[in-house]
Amino acid sequence: MIFTTQSMQDILTILSVKSKACEAGEYISFETVDPDLGEGYAGKILEIAGESYVYRGYKSWTDLAELLMCKMMTPTKSTYPLVKLHFKKLETQRSFHSESPSSKEEKYGVESHFSQIQKMEEPAFLYYYTQALKNARLTQRRSILNLGINTGDEFKIIKNSLDTLTYEKMKLVGIDHSKSAITYAEKCFPEENVTFHTHDINDLERLNLGKFDLLVSIGTLQSPSINFKPFFMSLVQNYLEKDAAIILGFPNSRWIGGEMIYGAKAPNYAMSEMSLLFNDIIFCKKYLQQKKFRVTLTGKQYIFLTATKII
């Protein structure tokens, strides 16, 4: 199968049919003009040795692979000026989203499928999380509360972003429902200024936590067990100092077959559908603006809402 001057509409139609017929682990292979031979935007016509080709960069092809629930493997050289691309069908059932653990508390525990995910090794996550920390003026913060800390990845980035003296003067508190995840986090952070709690965040009052000047929560507040809007308002009213900042991470992706796939997935929808995502984000933004916060939205696979108090 060789694609020369076919439109992306034609290619998408052809490969969609092939992808649906593929089993997990099977390959779709085809030839196209070598992206290294051209520059510019996708769709540019290249004339090579008297033949016409539609140019598309590797970014276009990796995006297409993701849309087809595939992983793009290493390209191989073919007859000049062609290159052979290989899409490997993902194991769509290999995902923590469809996992049924023995206990709901351990769905995100160290023995779960979720524990294989390393968000901080994904540039599209790490870059925007680090940016959010800068926007929240991390170096000026004295106390940080993280809801849904799991094994402590977000604290690790905070620690690595600060000099030792600044870090040691901070109070960091992490809360998670998973006992095994918290046990792991405690081993990673033996410092006296870091405290972890195995606890249901719906019942924060029992912990007598006090107030914090930075709240961080990534992909936790939208859990089905949480009544999101009243819970969020309660956090702002009862757990934040007057000059506090907030970082919320809203998943706009799914973790499937070893890949972070773009697009939120609502129940009962076969496609990516982001109405609930945007509804929650806009609610938080409007509410925080009413409370005199400056709010920014950044990110891609995760949408980061960063809010700082206007003083």
CATH architecture of 8-89: 3-Layer(aba) Sandwich (3.40)
Which residues of the chain carry a pLDDT beneath 70? 94-105
Judge contact between 84 and 31, C-beta under 8 A: yes
Q: Where are the alpha helices (DSSP H) in the chain?
A: 8-21, 58-67, 123-135, 153-161, 164-168, 179-188, 228-238, 275-290
Please give the backbone phi and psi of residue 206, each rounded to the nearest 5 degrees, phi first: -65, -20
The string of DSSP codes covering 214-260 is: EEEEES-TT-TTS-HHHHHHHHHHHSEEEEEEEEEEEE-EEEETTEE
CA dihedral for 93, 301, 38, 15, sign (positive or negative):
positive
Q: What's the pLDDT at 112?
A: 77
Q: Which two tokens stand for residue 246?
A: 């907030």
Q: What's the pLDDT at 105?
A: 64
Of residues 42, 68, 29, the one with CA closest to residue 262: 68
HSE-up (13 A, CA, CB side) for residue 124: 12
Q: What's the pLDDT at 95?
A: 59
Is the pTM higher than 0.75? The answer reads: yes
Q: Where are the alpha helices (DSSP H) in 106-256?
A: 123-135, 153-161, 164-168, 179-188, 228-238
8-89 and 97-309 have identical folds: yes
Question: Element (H or E) spanning 302, and its range?
Answer: strand 302-309
> Hey, what's the torsion of the CAs at 146, 150, 151, 153, to 10 degrees?
-50
Q: What's the pLDDT at 231?
A: 95
Q: What's the pLDDT at 237?
A: 95
| Domain edges within the chain | 8-89, 97-309
- Please, which residues bridge with residue 304 across strands? 249, 298
Indicate the SS3 state at residue 176: strand
CATH code of the domain made up of 97-309: 3.40.50.150
User: pLDDT tens digits for 56-94?
Assistant: 999 999 999 999 999 999 999 999 999 999 999 999 776
- How wide is the angle at C-alpha 118 spanned by C-alphas 112 and 122, nearest 5°? 145
What is d(CA 191, CA 22) in angstroms, rounded to the nearest whole number?
50
**Mutual angle of helices 123-135 and 153-161, in 10-degree steps:** 60
Of residues 217, 252, 258, the one with CA closest to residue 116: 258
